[in-house]
Amino acid sequence: MKIPAIKKPVPETNSTIWFNIDDQKLRLVHTGAERLKALMEMLDQAQVCLKLFYYIFEDDYVGELVLGKLIAACERGVAVELIIDSFGSNRTAKDFFAPFIKAGGRFAIFSPSFSTSYFVRNHQKMMIADDQRALIGGFNIGDQYFHLASEKTQLTEDENRWDDLGLEIQGTEVEKLAKYYQMLGNWVYEDNGNIRSLRKIIRNWESGNDRFRWLLGGPSNRLSSWAWSIKKDLEKGQKLDLVAAYFSPGQGLLRRIARLSKRGGDSRIILPGKTDNAATIGASRLLYGYLLNRNAQLYEYQKRRLHMKLVAIDDAVYIGSANFDLRSIFINVEMMLRVEDAKFARHVRQQIDELLTDSEKITPTLHKSRLSFLNRFRWTLCYFVVNTLDYTVNRRLNFGIKK
């Protein structure tokens, strides 16, 4: 397979600042250009192994570019594994990956047929190179996640593009993520569809108690480990910054956010003003009144569609694949990295400050102007749908709400 050439040069940016924390190096990669450059460098520089998992892997320009790089890695002797989710990637034919398989790549689909785990989606996104370097975050493999236009996507300047965030980490902590990937891969190859064994892997995972914690989520009647950790941080925290593509948590987490705000804590919550899934906006707006009455500062991002998953509570930062909704908290397989460091947390909040410049503040007056009986009914319906159905299904339902 011929690797597509990058059609436009990837510009340098000024926000790629590295942090050294306990002998680990990490940096935020915000813009589409930054993330594409980091992705390409890791694919090109891998010498021993590559491990990838993506909820969505599109058959578009970026998808072809990444697949070509994976094939090239196979041809130079790198052991390459790729797992995708059957629901998230259902628009991409399996034949698209045939050249990769032919080149020697190991390929699998999470829950490819009806089984006890069919409605449990693996929503994770990660790439691991040589078990020493990883790129995680909320973005999938597709043109819209990297702000590129191709003949297949036919995107205009900002139409249908996602504003997302990634984290590159280098060091021994990546070995722990690689260990988890191997456990997950073994399940997919040997026990795909067995929800009991999947739940066992997630429940028995040891995230650690140091400044780096790899926190998982999955099918359970309990809070996922990442949500439990956030819950404990909220209970004692003084400052909250939250950026979420989907925000419809249960009452327990919602009350803790409200308490932090009401007791004089500084909480800022940035949610989408634009999206491909209008039901998620409606579900969030159902909760605005409760939070505004408890002094939370709410914003809706207007520049483009928001896809980030980022939480900062005091000096603890969470970044990964999980949205702040019930599916991510109790059902979907998710991964969030918790990093505790004061300087890194300040840097994250500087990035959030930039998002605020392109956001509309939700005042009590603005919220009240939207608070018709019909809208309240729509928002209630959206909350139920978003927390019940997979994102690829409920995005088709907007209930008259503007995207």
Q: Is residue 103 a part of any domain in this protein?
A: yes
Tens of pLDDT along 286-300? 999 999 999 999 999
Strands (E), 246-377: 247-248, 266-272, 297-301, 305-306, 309-313, 316-320, 324-325, 334-340, 359-362
Residues 332, 202 contacting (CB under 8 angstroms): no
Please state, in angstroms and rounded to a whole number, the distance separating the CA atoms of residues 275 and 399.
Answer: 14
Residues 338, 324 contacting (CB under 8 angstroms): no
Q: List, in sequence order, every residue forming a beta bridge with 339; answer none if it has no partner.
A: 212, 317
Could you tell me if 47 and 166 lie in one domain?
yes
The pair of three-digit structure tokens given for residue 186, joined into one six-digit string: 């073994």
Q: Is residue 204 a part of any domain in this protein?
A: no
Dmax over Cα atoms in the chain, in whole Å?
A: 62
Residue 40's φ and ψ, nearest 5 degrees, are -65, -40
Q: Is residue 194 a part of any domain in this protein?
A: no
Q: Is residue 193 a part of any domain in this protein?
A: no
Could you tell me if 225 and 348 lie in one domain?
yes
Could you tell me if 165 and 227 lie in one domain?
no
What percentage of residues in the chain have a pLDDT greater than 90?
74
Helices (H), 213-325: 225-236, 251-262, 278-285, 288-292
pLDDT number for residue 134: 98
Could you tell me if 214 and 279 lie in one domain?
yes
- Specify the range with the lowest mean pLDDT, choosing from 193-197, 215-219, 334-338: 193-197
Amino acid identity for residue 54 in this structure: Y
Please state, in angstroms and rounded to a whole number, the distance separating the CA atoms of residues 40 and 27.
Answer: 16
Tens of pLDDT along 26-79? 999 999 989 999 999 999 999 999 999 999 999 999 999 999 999 999 999 999
Q: Is residue 195 a part of any domain in this protein?
A: no
Count of structural domains within the chain: 2
Average confidence (pLDDT) over 302-327: 95
Residues 48, 376 contacting (CB under 8 angstroms): no
The pair of three-digit structure tokens given for residue 4, joined into one six-digit string: 């597509």
pTM for this model (two decimals) = 0.91
Is the torsion defined by CA of 1, 30, 214, 85 positive or negative?
A: negative
Read off the CATH number of the domain in which 388 is found: 3.30.870.10
Please state, in angstroms and rounded to a whole number, the distance separating the CA atoms of residues 5 and 242.
Answer: 37
What does the buried/exposed string (b/e) look like for 80-93 if buried means 16 or more CB atoms within 10 Å of the residue's CB?
Answer: bbbbbbbbbbeebe
Q: Is residue 219 a part of any domain in this protein?
A: yes
Please state, in angstroms and rounded to a whole number, the distance separating the CA atoms of residues 157 and 224.
Answer: 38
Could you tell me if 234 and 132 lie in one domain?
no
Could you tell me if 292 and 181 lie in one domain?
no
For residue 364, the enclosing domain spans 210-394
What is the chain's mean pLDDT, rounded? 89
Tens of pLDDT along 347-379? 999 999 999 999 999 999 999 999 999 999 999
Last residue of a domain, one of 187, 221, 248: 187
